[in-house]
Amino acid sequence: MIDFRALADKYGTPLYVYDFNHITERYEQLKKAFTGRKSLIAYAVKANSNLSVVSHLADLGAGADCVSIGEVQRALMSGVPKYRIIFSGVGKRDDEIEEALKADILLLNLESEAEMSRVETIAERLGVRARISIRVNPNIDPKTHPYISTGLHENKFGVDIETAKRMYIHANNSEHLEPVGIHFHIGSQLTELEPIREASMIVADLVRSLLAIRIELKFFDVGGGLGIVYDDETTIEPYDYAQAILGTLHGLDLTVICEPGRFMVGDAGWFLTRVLYEKVNEGKRFVIVDGAMNDLLRPSLYNAWHKVEVFGKSGNESEADIVGPVCESGDFFAKDRPLPPTEHDDLVVVHSAGAYGFVMASNYNTRPRPAEVALVEGRDRCIRQRETFEDLVRLEKMCL
Q: Give me the active site residues, please.
A: 327
Helix, strand, coil shares, percent, the chain, to 5 = 35, 25, 40
Taking CB under 6 A as the rule, does residue 98 contact ligand LLP?
A: no
- Using CB under 6 A, pick the residue from 17, 50, 53, 65 that binds ligand LLP: 65
- Using CB under 6 A, pick the residue from 263, 271, 332, 333 that binds ligand LLP: 263
| Contact (CB, 8 A) for 190 and 236 | yes
Least CB distance from residue 293 to ligand LLP, whole Å? Answer: 13
With vertex at residue 11, the alpha carbon angle to CA 230 and CA 275, rounded to the nearest 5 degrees, is 60
Taking CB under 6 A as the rule, does residue 225 contact ligand LLP?
A: yes
Residue 219 three-state SS: strand
Q: Which stretch binds ligand LLP (CB under 6 A): 161-169, 182-190, 362-370, 373-381?
A: 182-190
Q: Which stretch binds ligand LLP (CB under 6 A): 1-9, 125-133, 218-226, 330-338?
A: 218-226
Taking CB under 6 A as the rule, does residue 261 contact ligand LLP?
A: yes
| Contact (CB, 8 A) for 346 and 5 | no
| Contact (CB, 8 A) for 350 and 296 | yes
Separation between Cα atoms, residue 262 and residue 234, nearest integer Å: 15
Separation between Cα atoms, residue 231 and residue 88, nearest integer Å: 30
- Using CB under 6 A, pick the residue from 88, 149, 200, 300 that binds ligand LLP: 88
Least CB distance from residue 304 to ligand LLP, whole Å? Answer: 7
Taking CB under 6 A as the rule, does residue 354 contact ligand LLP?
A: no
Q: What are phi and psi of 9, to 5 degrees?
A: -65, -40
**Which residues are bridge partners to 257 per DSSP?**
40, 221
Least CB distance from residue 223 to ligand LLP, whole Å? Answer: 5
Taking CB under 6 A as the rule, does residue 158 contact ligand LLP?
A: no
Q: Under rule CB under 6 A, which residues in 293-352 are in contact with ligand LLP?
A: 298, 302
- Using CB under 6 A, pick the residue from 31, 165, 197, 262 that binds ligand LLP: 262
Q: Which stretch binds ligand LLP (CB under 6 A): 209-217, 241-249, 260-268, 310-318?
A: 260-268
Distances from the Cα of 76 to the Cαs of 18, 61, 219, 265, 374, in angstroms?
22, 13, 21, 19, 21
Taking CB under 6 A as the rule, does residue 148 contact ligand LLP?
A: yes
Amino acid identity at 205: D
Separation between Cα atoms, residue 183 and residue 200, nearest integer Å: 10
- Using CB under 6 A, pick the residue from 19, 98, 111, 259 that binds ligand LLP: 259
Taking CB under 6 A as the rule, does residue 44 contact ligand LLP?
A: yes
| Contact (CB, 8 A) for 201 and 156 | no
What residues make contact with ligand LLP under the rule CB under 6 A?
A: 44, 47, 65, 88, 148, 150, 185, 188-189, 223-226, 259-263, 298, 302, 355-356
